[in-house]
Amino acid sequence: MTQEISELLVEGNLRFQWNLLNEAKYVNINRKIPKHPVLILTCMDSRIDIHKIFQLNLGEVLILRNAGNVYSKDIMRSILLAIYEFEIKTILILGHLDCGMTKVNVKNLKQKLPLSLVNNISNRTESPEKDIRIFFKIFDDEIKNIKTQVRFLKEFPDFPKETEIRGMLYDVNTGWVFESKEFEQLESREDFLKSYKKLLMKKHSKLTKFVESLKKEQDELDQLNKIAPLEKCELNHFRNFMRVNTKTLKMASKIFKPKKTINTRIKPVKVCDNEKDFRSLGNLKMEIVVPKCVIPKINVLIPNFKLYYEEELKR
């Protein structure tokens, strides 16, 4: 069985590497890690995929896990290191509904543990079951547990006051994440479940508005895509004559070479690398100053002006 699991994981890593090659998703080792100054403490429950839940990429946040997303000395060790070495500014404690820690039966667990381990945990006290509960940090209510862990961190001696600590609750059945402000007035999991329908209606209302905004953005993009693209030859013609660099300016000076009584001044424009940039130049103007002329200035929209060579001007 161990060999089968090992092979399964190795094969999974091969698929991961294949996806990296195809999707070009990787962690830029030159980029600051994490990208966001956030650390998430959550449960080891395999149903919780932080990257999927929050649509994050690798390297964007720090993640800590243990049974029940609870405080411990080792968790605090990692949190303090993250704050002072990785400049973490926000700690999120993400609990979840249907947590396995609320279902642990201490008596049954005691029967499964070797006697030597029970004695080591309880130190041969008269209440080994109580000691086991304390050792494994077993709790009965997910809402209360989140609030308790937030309080433990805030009350830790000399914990940096500028670090924000917030609780969140994840529903593994629906995929919704609830912020602390949505359940801070609720005392227990039971209260949360009573208010769940109301909370869910608010969530769906937010989702509806979000989807509508996405649809509006998509409609705007569709409208832009309906604009007829420039002819390839027209775009190439423009690039040949108007790509603004040293070479092009010299070319432009030859094209617009004036007579002695004419002073020509061309405003430089940005380099056009694509059709979008080309279209944006339609609002720019070229000024050709002709002294002692009835019309002292002629403003010409760049995409619509005609280029004449010196030979043509002499005709």
Q: Average pLDDT of 210-215?
A: 88
Answer yes or no: is pLDDT of 244 > 50. no
Answer yes or no: is pLDDT of 300 > 70. no
Answer yes or no: is pLDDT of 260 > 50. no
pLDDT digits (tens, 9 = 90+) for 75-134: 999 999 999 999 999 999 999 999 999 999 999 999 999 999 999 998 767 789 999 999
Confidence at 236, pLDDT banded by 50, 70, 90: low
Beta bridge partners of 62: 39
Look at residue 73 in the predicted model and tell me its pLDDT.
95
The residue among 38, 46, 43, 49 whose CA lies nearest residue 79 is: 38
Look at residue 21 in the predicted model and tell me its pLDDT.
74
List, in order, residues 6 or more apart from 82 with CB less than 8 Å away: 39, 62, 88
The residue among 158, 168, 195, 164 whose CA lies nearest residue 69 is: 168
Tokens of 87: 């400049």
The residue among 173, 166, 187, 154 whose CA lies nearest residue 41 is: 166
Residue 78 CA to residue 64 CA, distance in Å, equals 8
Beta bridge partners of 165: 91
Residue 135 CA to residue 129 CA, distance in Å, equals 10
The residue among 231, 229, 227, 248 whose CA lies nearest residue 239 is: 248
- The reply to whether omega before 34 is within 30° of 0 (cis) is yes
Answer whether CATH 1.10.3720.10 is correct for domain 2-186: no
Work out whether strand 62-66 and strand 90-96 pair parallel, antiparallel, or are unpaired. unpaired
Q: How many CB atoms lie within 10 A of CB 201?
A: 9
Residue 82 CA to residue 93 CA, distance in Å, equals 15
Domain boundaries, the chain: 2-186, 195-227, 232-313
Residue 223 CA to residue 211 CA, distance in Å, equals 18
Vertex 97: Cα angle to 181 and 192 (nearest 5)? 45
Look at residue 305 in the predicted model and tell me its pLDDT.
40
Q: How many CB atoms lie within 10 A of CB 71?
A: 20
Residue 98 CA to residue 231 CA, distance in Å, equals 60
- Based on the number of CB atoms within 10 Å of its own CB, is 243 exposed (0-12), middle (13-18) or buried (19 or more)? middle
